[in-house]
Structure 1
Amino acid sequence: MPAHQLAPDVLAAEQTHLAESRAALQAMRAHAQSLSSDAAGDWVSQQILQSLLDQRVAALADHPDTPLFFGRLDRSMDDDLPSVIYVGRRHVHDGNSRPLVIDWRAPVSRPFYQASPADPMGVALRRRFGYHGGALTAFEDEPLNQGAELGPSRILTDEIERPRTGPMRDIVATIQPDQDEIVRAALAQTVCVQGAPGTGKTAVGLHRAAYLLFTHRERLARSGVMIVGPNRAFLSYISSVLPALGEVKVDQTTVAGLLGEHATPEDPMVSAVKGDARMAEVLRRALWLHIVKPEEGLVFSKGAYRHRVADYEVREIVASLRGTTRYGPGRAALTQRLAHLVLVRMEQRGESPDDRVQDAVARSKPVRQLVDAIWPKLTPEQVLYRLLADPEFLARAAKSDFSPEEQDTLLWRKPYRSWKSAKWSAADAALLDELGDLIERTPSIGHLVVDEAQDLSEMQLRALGRRCRNGSATVLGDLAQGTTAWSTSSWQAVLKHLGQDGEVTELTLGFRVPREVLDYAARLLPSIAPDLAAPRSLRPGAGSLSVRPDGELGRAVTEALTREGSIGVIVPDALAAEVSASLADVPHAVLGPDSTDEHRLLIVPATLAKGLEYDHVIVVEPADIVAAEPRGLARLYVVLTRAVTSLTVLHRKPLPAQLTA
């Protein structure tokens, strides 16, 4: 469908509306800036109100190089709504509260994504706008009357294929109907998205977060929304999406950032055993094994009187509490029940103790000493240290859940002197979190978005599930891109360990990765994910793939620099420094785990490539990428699908057999 480049009267009218809308947005922001928090009563209320005002001002920021609206709906329905609606990234109204732009998340905007000639949804015509920077340059009309035929949208295609430099952009102008269904799923519904490379699963997850915040603003302002990504480089890459949609207060973190930045090196097979869900029951037993059977009662002296609680009474209290509550509250309840029995003894002697007396008894030395002996105060680190350092204790906690060989795998070869000096691995972090929840309940948030979920261990999934036990989740990933020793092969298993009931939706139609590149990478699928359907791409991408046995990196980089867009040179991790040195004369940066660099040319270690995209990708020595880790073929699949315009594969060593077939 051709875009109308030469319709000056229509373009002029739309440009006038754009200018009016921008002026109105500036007026809305100026009004928000003029508001004062002084009207609030006390200092705390003033600070809260000021924070809300600051968020409002930030959300109303105009981005001159970003279209304020990208679509228009000419409605055919006769109701109280405007006959013409402009769809954009946020709501804009003039001084008379007349809507100039309607937020893309509003129900009335849904036909922009869902309407078709078969179901026009009350819309006669849909108009898409083309922009260069922030300037409106073209429009494209799609009649939605019954029987009309819609060809491919040139404006939509151009937007999808537009070269990308820097962080990920939002996709509000190009959301497809199947993506929109996921974005607008109900808050109570947990959605799991199996998405092939280039299908926009990450963007869909971020846009669902923005949609839920818009639709359930008050509720989620209290309970919160959190985005969990695979690494900080990925978070940096997606950091601009939600602010561009007006959502400036969403926590974005990694699993390590959530559970603790523990990174002591560990054998992947040890980590795999620690990541098994069977560890949850072992940890539960290990914690409760610290409770000792009471052999003595309690004697509390007050003046000339000695108030006694018999040993059998103490045992009854402990038995009634053990396993029916979390460890920390159980310990506190034991203290209070012992104190209460002392008060009963006082009342039997004719005294009239009150709550203050009970609190004093609970804090007394005899009660504290007895509770510490029976139900010791513990930290997660103390319990896990004992479990990994003491073979007999591990055997008691593991019972038959782990074989003797697996128990031996879990034990430290050289135990630390104490739990205070222990160095923990990333797998240990999930175990410590599990123990922490057994001791004190982990708070829940309203909605959790988890990306690259196929790479999380069962124990990590349990840790994330605790954080949305009273809410819902959006789970994103691709089984074919699982690269860890514990990568899942089933989304149903992921949802089970996350503690969520949800539907699995599969996105197989790609918009970003050229078909020629995607088909090349898909040769690996029978070896890494034979049950998955091969992904398809809407973009033919003829000439987008080049496989060169000469391995000439300098020439490939020079060629890429003559083209528009970002360049990612993806290399085996061990070669990152060497490749960087070989390109010393070319301005570039090396991507690190915490990197926020936005250089046009980046050297990307293969293990950091997941979730990232570059216009032009140069892959160096695929054989070394495969050989570097047990799931090396899956890593190579990730690497080969990062390109959105061209892929150049450089090799001197033989390619994996799957790529030469």
Structure 2
Amino acid sequence: MPVQSAYQEEKKRLTGVLAEIRRQLEAIGPRYTGDDFTEQMLDVQRGKRIERLETAYREPYFGRLDFQEASSDRPVPLYIGKSGVSGPGRDELLVIDWRAPVASMFYSFAGGDGPASYESPEGEVTGTVHLKRNLVIRDGELIRMADSYTRGQDEALVTDEFLLYRLGENKDNKLRDIVSTIQAEQDRIIRADKNKVLFIQGVAGSGKTTVALHRLAFLLYRYADRVRASRMIIFAPNRMFLDYISGVLPELGVGDIRQTTFEDWTIELLRNEVRAADPADTLHDWFERPRSAADLDSASGRWKGSRAFVALVEERLREIEASFVPQEPFEPVEGMRLQPETMRQWAETDYGAEPIMRKRERLVNRLRRWLETELKDRKWTDRSIRSKALSRLNAFVKKMPSYSAPQAYRTMFEGKRAAAVPDKRIVTETVARLKKGIAAEEDLAPLAYIHIRLYGLDQPPFDHIVIDEAQDYSPFRIEALKLCQRRPSMTVLGDLQQGIHGYAGVRSWREQMELFDDEDVQYYELDRSYRSTMEIIEFANRVLAGMDGGVRPAVPVFRSGEPVEIERTEPENWLAAVEESVRSWQAEGRYKTIAVIGRTARECALLHERLAAGGLYAALVESSQPSYGGGLTVVPVYLSKGLEFDAVVMADAGEAAYGDADAKLLYVGCTRALHRLKLLYRGRLTRLVSGG
């Protein structure tokens, strides 16, 4: 069919679909405002349906797949959207939800005249694809149409025009869904079985964060009878990143999934018994001064996050559990005795699966009931005897140690246990912090683990956990989160090439994967970068050249752009050069988001001050920042991870700023750029770029 005729056909169908959506909206009627509980619950469902239909009215679908089942004599056009839309007929579907089994072919089919198939609840369905078409609809208007496959057409002439079109769009201050451009390798991850721990190694710009969010939406659809959004949780690296990704799930029609940081979650879990140290302190200690690879091995966070430290903590918890079971008989009144063997049996047999301090609480309650029963059976009603017995019980209970998580954790650094700590500075610094009620970042995982082992969880176990930037998670953090599930169900994602927090994180995914049984683990590697141009990705790969990261380098999608610029500037003209770069890009009017990425917070403060003095409004990103507002931004390189900008100026790529140990840091900065990258430098250019 000629392109113009096909376009008119699609416009006609769109008009009909929009009319049906509008009819369904009008048929719902007014919202309920009364006090009847049943009607209120029904109205909640009506409200959700209204929201889905209103979203569908703006963008009802994004794809079309003409599929002919093997048992059928003709192809059927299937329209794929973010949510399903039924037609006026009872069994008619105008739009198929992207998460439905049949919709998987839209993502997995890569062309060719061979058979296509999908897994339905009844089994495998095979057939033939006749057409795969991408559609862009905005506010009810058909904006663009691109056929990526037409049966019988010369495929050598077909390119993924639609993907390149979407990748070429400018970005704003929020991450967006990729439901219309999900690639086959991403779709396999999204649709993987729930009861697995998925480890996703994804290069910068591979879409791993978005894939994980889409996976949550898929799990809620596929396992609707077994999982709840309220029992899912997303762990992000910081609050600014949480704000950046906050729009994806609502766009997919998913709500009620908690999105937090490990720090905030732990402090809440501990019921604010401690407060978190200022994250700026850790960042300043690590990133605001010269460092070497040797610093990684000596960092206390590496030791406190290790499996060896997990073993020491677990040993201490066993000691605590044994300590509250009395080793001597309880004799509240002469002639009335409870032997320690009986109390030990109660604790070990009757309460075996309980958290440690709950076992203690139940044992104390059992002692009280035993005493009441004995007094009643022996008919000892004398008040003085009863008072004496209760007094002895209270004294006996006081000898049964009770701990909060911070108290138990502190004992790890006291007495003979302190000898197991490899560096005495760790002992003195940790104890000093805990005395003030402060927990450093490296203390959070042990505290969370200890609290759960002592007191359990206040809420039901998580159905699914997403951990973003997981290369910065120690094995101990993973161990703590394992305690929050009955059965492992996690999506763990990150990039070892962006592991800039090596003082606390892992250097190999094996460090985390080996915490689970082999049959529970699946590993995926996403090496295609959809974010940046070929020029930027190839340049960034050279920065990491020679590093043995154990993962494949990024492979750019064929999207060419401006060459990466490298410009030397004299120290006295450095700030002016940065300002001029920003001004020239803004004058071009091609970029919605521009970032000036500095090496340190102090450097960024100077850059921000200079831009402001020149009349250029820019947001200055700091460690405690809750949100990212887009536009012109000045950000330290170590806070830029996870963000993306249309254009990036690396303010100073000199040798003094980026030494041999800073390759991952420079790589992170360079890969924030989608379309344009420029590196300024003072003095000598870093050897990570020059190779000298």
Deviations 1:356-401 (A, max 9, x none): xxxx99x955434323312x2321122223434x343534xxxxxx
Aligned runs of 1:173-188 on 2, under 5 Å? Answer: 173-188=180-195
* Structure 2: distance between partners of 1:175 and 1:347: 71
Matched position secondary structure for 1:76: strand
Q: Is the 8 A contact 1:230 1:254 kept in 2?
A: yes
| Other structure's SS at 1:637 match | helix
Instruction: Supply the distance in 2 between the matched residues of 1:574 and 1:518 (Cα, whole angstroms).
Output: 28
Return closer, same or farther for 1:39/1:470 CA change in 2, 3 Å cut-off.
farther
The residue number in structure 1 matching 2:61 is 69
2:361 matched to 1:332?
yes
Q: Which moved more, 1:422-431 or 1:576-585?
A: 422-431
Q: 1:356 — aligned with what? A: none
| Match for residue 520 of structure 1 among 532, 539, 546 | 539
Give the structure 1 partner of residue 504 of structure 2: 486
| Alignment-derived partner of residue 539 in structure 1 | 558
Q: What is residue 587 of structure 1 aligned with on the other side?
A: 617
- Cα offsets for 1:393-413 (capped at 9, x unmatched): 534xxxxxx35x33x233124
Q: Counterpart amino acid of 1:297?
A: P
Equivalence for 2:585:
560
Q: Aligned with 1:218: secondary structure?
A: coil
The match for 1:21 among 13, 17, 24 is 17
Deviation at 1:58, TM superposition (A): 4.1
Distance 1:492 1:553, change over 3 A: same
**Aligned residue number for residue 473 of structure 1:** 490
Q: Tell me the residue number matched to 1:354.
A: none
**Equivalent in the alignment of 2:645:** 614
Q: Is residue 167 of structure 2 the alignment partner of residue 160 of structure 1? A: yes
SS in 2 for 1:217: coil
Q: Do residues 297 (structure 1) and 326 (structure 2) align?
A: no
The CA distance in 1 between the partners of 2:356 and 2:25, in whole Å, is 50
Identify the residue that residue 504 of structure 1 maps to in structure 2: 523
- The change in CA–CA distance for 1:491 and 1:596 in structure 2 (over 3 A counts) is same
CA distance in 2, matches of 1:535, 1:429: 33
Cα separation, partners in 2 of 1:306 and 1:48, compared to 1, 3 Å: farther
Name the residue aligned to 2:205.
198
**Which deviates more, 282-291 or 574-583?**
282-291
- Residue by residue over 1:148-201, the C-alpha shift from the partner in whole angstroms, topping out at 9 and shown as x without a partner, is 526212122101221112211111111111111111111122211111112111
In the aligned structure 2, how far is the partner of 1:154 from the partner of 1:212? 30
1:49-91, Cα deviation, whole Å (9 max, x unpaired)? 6655555544444277x63311111222255999221111111
1:410 maps to 2:429: no
The question of whether the paired residues in 1 share the 8 Å contact of 2:471 and 2:506 is answered with yes
**How far 1:287 moved relative to its partner?**
3.9
How does 1:98-177 map onto structure 2 within 5 Å?
Answer: 98-115=92-109, 116-117=111-112, 118-121=114-117, 122=127, 123-131=129-137, 135-143=141-149, 145=151, 149=155, 151-177=158-184
Aligned length: 630
Q: In structure 1, how many angstroms separate the alpha carbons of the residues matched to 2:443 and 2:359? A: 25
> Does the Cα contact within 8 Å between 2:528 and 2:556 map onto a contact in 1?
yes
**Kindly tell me: are residues 90 and 312 of structure 1, through their superposed partners in 2, closer, same or farther at Cα, counting changes over 3 Å?**
closer
Residue 32 of structure 1 deviates from its aligned partner by 5.8
Q: For 1:233 and 1:36, locate their aligned partners in 2 and report how far apart those are by CA, in whole Å.
A: 37
Task: For 1:554 and 1:63, locate their aligned partners in 2 and report how far apart those are by CA, in whole Å.
Answer: 44
CA contact (8 A) 1:571 1:621 kept: yes
Change (3 A) 1:472 1:365: farther
Match status 1:220 vs 2:227: yes
Displacement of 1:112: 1.0
**One-letter amino acid matched to 1:460:** R
Question: Which amino acid in the other structure matches residue 383 of structure 1?
Answer: A
> Which stretches in structure 2 are left out of the alignment for 5+ residues?
118-126, 268-274, 287-298, 381-385
Specify the alignment match of 1:210 in structure 2: 217
**Equivalent AA in structure 2 for residue 437 of structure 1:** I
Kindly indicate whether the alpha-carbon contact (under 8 Å) linking 1:335 and 1:368 is maintained by their aligned counterparts in 2.
no
1:433 to 2:448 alignment:
yes
Matched, 1:308 2:362: no
Is the alpha carbon distance of 1:16 and 1:306 closer, same or farther for their aligned partners in structure 2, counting shifts above 3 Å?
farther
Checking the alignment, whether the CA contact within 8 Å between 1:93 and 1:101 is kept in structure 2 is: yes
> Which residue in 2 is equivalent to 1:276?
306
Distance in structure 2 (CA, Å) of the matches to 1:80 and 1:256 = 59
Distance across 2 between alignment mates of 1:30 and 1:470 = 44
Q: Does 1:458 align with 2:475?
A: yes
The alpha-carbon distance between structure 1 residues 317 and 113, as it changes in their structure 2 partners (threshold 3 A), is closer
Aligned pair 1:394/2:418, yes or no?
yes
Extract unaligned runs of 5+ from structure 1. Answer: 352-359, 396-401
Report % sequence identity: 26
Q: Which residue of 1 aligns with 2:79?
A: 86
Separation in 1, partners of 2:35, 2:22:
24
- Secondary structure of 1:171's counterpart equals coil
The separation in 2 between residues aligned to 1:83 and 1:414, in whole angstroms, is: 66
1:306 Cα deviation from its structure 2 partner: 6.1
- TM-score (normalised: structure 2): 0.82
Q: Which amino acid aligns with 1:651?
A: Y
CA distance in 2, matches of 1:432, 1:181: 36
**Do residues 569 (structure 1) and 596 (structure 2) align?**
yes
Specify the alignment match of 1:367 in structure 2: 393
- Separation in 2, partners of 1:30, 1:383: 61
Q: Flag the 1:221–1:657 CA change in 2: closer, same or farther, 3 A.
A: same
Report if aligned partners of 2:482, 2:488 keep a CA contact under 8 Å in 1: no
For residues 50 and 372 of structure 1, what CA distance do their matches in structure 2 show? 54
User: Greater CA deviation, 469-478 or 575-584?
Assistant: 469-478
CA distance in 2, matches of 1:372, 1:58: 57
Maintained 8 Å contact 2:62/2:180: yes
Whole-angstrom CA distance in 1 between matches of 2:433 and 2:681: 48
- What is the alpha-carbon distance in structure 2 between the residues aligned to residue 318 and residue 87 of structure 1? 57
Look up the SS of the partner of 1:125 in the other structure: strand
Q: Give the direction of change, closer, same or farther, for the CA distance of 1:466–1:58 in structure 2 (3 Å limit).
A: farther
TM-score (norm 1): 0.85
Quick one: structure 1 residues 134 and 271, their matched pair in 2 at CA, closer, same or farther if it must change by over 3 Å? farther
Paired letter, 2:640: A
- Quote how far apart the aligned CAs of 1:143 are: 4.2
Which deviates more from structure 2 when the two are superposed, residues 630-639 or residues 472-481? 630-639
Counterpart Cα distance in 2 of 1:82 and 1:146: 14
In 2, distance between residues paired with 1:622 and 1:131?
42
Change (3 A) 1:11 1:250: same
For 2:263, the equivalent position in structure 1 comes to: 256
What is the SS of the residue equivalent to 1:580?
A: helix
On the 8 A contact 2:654/2:682 being kept in 1, the answer is no
1:542: how far off? Answer: 4.3
Tell whether the 8 Å contact from 1:308 to 1:345 is kept in structure 2 after alignment. Answer: no
Amino acid at match of 1:392: K
2:514 is paired with a residue whose SS is helix
